[in-house]
Amino acid sequence: MDFLNMRHVLPFLVPIMALMIPIVAIIMGIQAKMRREQLLHETLRQLADKGQPLPPELLNQLSGDGQASLDAQRRRTNGGLQAGAINVAAGLGLAVMFYLMNPGSWLWAIGCLPGFIGIALLIVWRVETRGQKDAQAKV
């Protein structure tokens, strides 16, 4: 094929490649997790075949209990705060930028969308953390 005949396809390659990168990254992450779990299961099976005791750390990794899940819970809880703050800041920045670009226009309202999303995320974060504190106080 002549390269000049392929010129009409080239503009489509950039967006296709841009969409393929995250898809490949997700697939690779899933494969890495599956391989890690497969190796963990293989290790547990070999220990059980030899009659050795199974370490609780390996069983905790298998069930998702333990310190790793506590860290994940803490990250999820703080992730809401971080996402909310980022959205509020992005919304405020967009509103100020569009207002300064054209003071008489309605464009500043575009910043309200991420701003209100950020406020909603902060409200959800606050409700979740308050609920967790109440649950811990009952225990």
Tokens at 11, concatenated:
């503009």
Tens-place pLDDT, residues 58-92 = 777 776 655 555 566 666 667 888 999 999 999 99
Tell me the residue ranges of DSSP E strands in the chain.
none
**Cβ neighbourhood burial of 87 (10 Å; 0-12, 13-18, 19+):** buried
User: Is the per-residue pLDDT at 7 higher than 60?
Assistant: yes
The pTM of the full predicted model, rounded to 2 decimals, is 0.50
CB atoms within 10 A of CB 39: 10
End-to-end, the C-alpha distance of the chain in Å comes to: 72
pLDDT digits (tens, 9 = 90+) for 86-131: 999 999 999 999 999 988 899 999 999 999 999 999 999 999 888 7
The answer on pLDDT for 17 being more than 90 is no
pLDDT, position 138: 73
